[in-house]
A and B are shown apart, each in its own frame.
Chain A
């Protein structure tokens, strides 16, 4: 009974928040939908050079060279940008009796390969119809033995992708079997995007690094890890990054892939590449791949939160009850398709009209079939696009912010940093499982620490967190928004279970004029993290972007402070980082 009440309260608050968020987003209602079928007719073919055609460095098994290729049937309009897909770890073979196997090649009992690489055809078709060549690579040979190598297959996956790019280069230059000269001059290998799912997600990141180490023979413009693992903590610098995080992931249930975003933010000075992630509240791990989903005819498929999380069926958010917020297979794929398409069409195809979808300034497009998601955005390191107010990276930032001005607090407790490098505590929610605090979850093959965050809270309505702005930097009128990342700390008893939090952000100018905006007026990010079984609830710091136009009556040419005023609720506890003025990429 109590659970049900909490559930209703939560969904009521989320509904209100989304509705309010929608109000501020109406200005972007004209953003076109990136997930719809485009003008090109599409042809699908495959190439296959055999189950054992490739050998990766120090890798203990043979790997196939097989892929599907979706392309605009009328190639005359080429060359087309190229998108590569790489599936993740899954059973490799199946028998007629319905058993899944882990071997390569498939040799037992007339077993056949499980075609995991075909599981993203629904994305490939839409992208190809909009003028992209999409190649989806089979990696069963890696899956069969990757637990036997130290990096758990990351380098092998990277090398496999590079090999396929070499093959595409041959198709594009001299041609070759099985396509002859059909594709000569039709691929633009200076504009390449990569998407990897699960272990494939780390694979595309590792590939980006490998391509760089090789002198960047291919122009990797955009990297999209989808529900990825991040065992080794490689970082994508200077290329657009988008991580998709399924809240109800039952496999990579600690959402460790958020490290890709967290690690890349301030890693390279002058990094002009934007970084994004989406937290999809009702999504699981497997439904993004049709072959891995329960509707698939192949063995080894699973509804992972239900199959892998003990007691998962009973979770009110991710379980199987009638009030569960889980997406259907079709809804989940629609959401994935929308954001995959938006990302690649912006950063590989230059179709900048979709940027507001990726910054969260525009609502999810209709094709996503889902509005229960949160978009985070980190602007390029460009003084015209981002002014970091407080990165909250070290203890100095508790008293002096990134701009060198004062950072102060009133009536906040605690007021400390967690999750980052020593001497910060390695986690922010002591006693909670790693899976419930993704930003600090340990990595299997790296000792790198997690996201440095301000952990704070208030016990009455006088709580205040203030960052001063130096006079010389007070002209923020050129930026679109004041933004920060935040999560309600579900482990802080001051937050009422199931109820959204709220506070105000106040800008004050040189004349002393102030203007405030409630977080709930622009964002639903202060939801109480839902769920109660296994890896949920969990804290994920979502970006709140407050349009500066909302701060009426304050002189944006001379802002002197940014304050978080905690007077909307009697008490509460939150985690905060990345306070900045920022604009969308150009």
Chain B
């Protein structure tokens, strides 16, 4: 029987914390800048506060991008992680979701960027119409940021969404 995780956000958050702590401890042993963005399937299902959303006038690029959504997710209690090389207790995460597709399921992971910074490696939804990445670095979430998507950390091969970030309060 399939569990309805959407109805139990608090339980999910509690269950998630050991995983997050463990994951970030592992990330700290590895110096790769991409380690901090380890996305977990469950965090994508936590309720979030919508900060920005856009839809393009038509599908953009090979990947047929149609828009993005940026949400703030509260984490309680906070988790210890590294942000820009500094150890911090994060009580918020930011979810960036790119819509479009259907996205191909590839060996190389989808990577979501804001400007020239990697938000994280993306997780596709079941219908392959969305890809979501998570960051704990609030500096990435700013007005005027350009959201783009690549496969692998292929900066030159990114598909950009023309509409820049316009946040609804906070993070400007």
Bound together, the chains give a CA A229 to CA B108 distance in angstroms of 8
Could you tell me which residues of chain A, from 202 to 239, have a CB within 8 Å of some CB in chain B?
227, 229
Minimum distance in angstroms from A85 CB to a CB of chain B: 16
Nearest B residue to A145 via CB reads: B41
Interface bits B53-92 vs A (CB < 8 Å: 1, else 0) = 0000000011000000000000000000000000000000
> CB distance A89 to B106 under 8 Å?
yes
Minimum distance in angstroms from A314 CB to a CB of chain B: 14
A199 within 8 A of B: yes
> CB distance B128 to A534 under 8 Å?
no
Could you tell me which residues of chain B, from 117 to 141, have a CB within 8 Å of some CB in chain A?
121-128
A245 within 8 A of B: no
> CB distance A148 to B39 under 8 Å?
yes
Nearest B residue to A232 via CB reads: B30
> CB distance A446 to B32 under 8 Å?
yes
B156 within 8 A of A: yes
Contacts of B153 in A (CB 8 A): 434, 442, 444
Bound together, the chains give a CA A150 to CA B104 distance in angstroms of 21
Tell me how many residues of A have a C-beta within 8 Å of chain B.
Answer: 48
Nearest A residue to B127 via CB reads: A101
B11 within 8 A of A: no
A125 within 8 A of B: no
Contacts of B32 in A (CB 8 A): 443-447
Bound together, the chains give a CA A252 to CA B107 distance in angstroms of 7
B50 within 8 A of A: no
Which residue in B27, B151, B152 is a CB contact (below 8 Å) of A150?
B27
Bound together, the chains give a CA A102 to CA B154 distance in angstroms of 23
Bound together, the chains give a CA A310 to CA B65 distance in angstroms of 14
Minimum distance in angstroms from A440 CB to a CB of chain B: 14
The answer to whether residues A444 and B109 also contact, given A102-B128, A534-B157 and a CB cut-off of 8 A, is yes
Minimum distance in angstroms from A423 CB to a CB of chain B: 17
Which residue in B27, B35, B42, B108 is a CB contact (below 8 Å) of A252?
B108
Contacts of B121 in A (CB 8 A): 147, 152, 444
Could you tell me which residues of chain A, from 530 to 561, have a CB within 8 Å of some CB in chain B?
534
The answer to whether residues A310 and B62 also contact, given A147-B39, A147-B121, A534-B157 and a CB cut-off of 8 A, is yes
Which residue in A88, A145, A150, A433 is a CB contact (below 8 Å) of B107?
A88
B38 within 8 A of A: yes
Contacts of B62 in A (CB 8 A): 307-308, 310
> CB distance B126 to A102 under 8 Å?
yes
Contacts of A60 in B (CB 8 A): 40-42
> CB distance A307 to B104 under 8 Å?
yes
Bound together, the chains give a CA A399 to CA B62 distance in angstroms of 49
Minimum distance in angstroms from B29 CB to a CB of chain A: 11
Bound together, the chains give a CA A102 to CA B126 distance in angstroms of 5
The answer to whether residues A152 and B109 also contact, given A145-B41, A307-B104, A442-B153 and a CB cut-off of 8 A, is yes
Tell me how many residues of B have a C-beta within 8 Å of chain A.
Answer: 40
Contacts of B124 in A (CB 8 A): 102, 147
The answer to whether residues A89 and B128 also contact, given A147-B121, A254-B152 and a CB cut-off of 8 A, is no
> CB distance A302 to B34 under 8 Å?
no
Bound together, the chains give a CA A199 to CA B126 distance in angstroms of 19
Q: Is the interface of B mostly helix, strand, loop or mixed?
A: loop
> CB distance A445 to B30 under 8 Å?
yes
Bound together, the chains give a CA A101 to CA B130 distance in angstroms of 12
Could you tell me which residues of chain A, from 143 to 177, have a CB within 8 Å of some CB in chain B?
143, 145, 147-150, 152
Nearest B residue to A312 via CB reads: B62
> CB distance B128 to A308 under 8 Å?
no
> CB distance A251 to B23 under 8 Å?
no
Nearest A residue to B110 via CB reads: A147
Minimum distance in angstroms from A195 CB to a CB of chain B: 15
Minimum distance in angstroms from A228 CB to a CB of chain B: 8
Contacts of A522 in B (CB 8 A): none
Contacts of B102 in A (CB 8 A): 99-100
Bound together, the chains give a CA A444 to CA B150 distance in angstroms of 14
A285 within 8 A of B: yes
A368 within 8 A of B: no
Nearest A residue to B61 via CB reads: A310
> CB distance B107 to A310 under 8 Å?
no
> CB distance B23 to A100 under 8 Å?
no
Nearest B residue to A105 via CB reads: B2
Contacts of B61 in A (CB 8 A): 310
> CB distance B34 to A251 under 8 Å?
no
Contacts of B107 in A (CB 8 A): 88-89, 198-199, 227, 229, 251-252, 285
A300 within 8 A of B: yes
Contacts of B157 in A (CB 8 A): 309-310, 433, 534
Nearest A residue to B24 via CB reads: A150
A477 within 8 A of B: no
> CB distance B106 to A251 under 8 Å?
yes
> CB distance B127 to A99 under 8 Å?
yes
Bound together, the chains give a CA A446 to CA B108 distance in angstroms of 15
Interface bits A301-325 vs B (CB < 8 Å: 1, else 0) = 0101001111000000000000000
Could you tell me which residues of chain B, from 1 to 30, have a CB within 8 Å of some CB in chain A?
2, 19, 22-23, 26-27, 30
8 A-B pairs with the lowest CB-CB distances in the bound complex, closest first: A148-B41, A103-B126, A198-B107, A91-B105, A147-B123, A447-B31, A251-B106, A150-B38
For the A-B complex with A148-B40, A252-B107, A444-B32 known, give 19 more contacts whose Cβ atoms are closer than 8 Å: A60-B42, A89-B106, A91-B105, A91-B128, A92-B105, A99-B127, A101-B127, A103-B126, A145-B123, A150-B38, A199-B107, A229-B108, A307-B62, A308-B62, A310-B61, A434-B154, A435-B154, A445-B35, A447-B32
Chosen A-B contacts, 22 in total, with CB atoms closer than 8 Å, are A58-B22, A60-B42, A91-B105, A99-B127, A100-B128, A101-B126, A101-B127, A102-B124, A102-B126, A107-B2, A108-B126, A143-B105, A145-B123, A147-B110, A147-B121, A152-B121, A251-B107, A433-B154, A442-B153, A444-B32, A445-B32, A446-B30
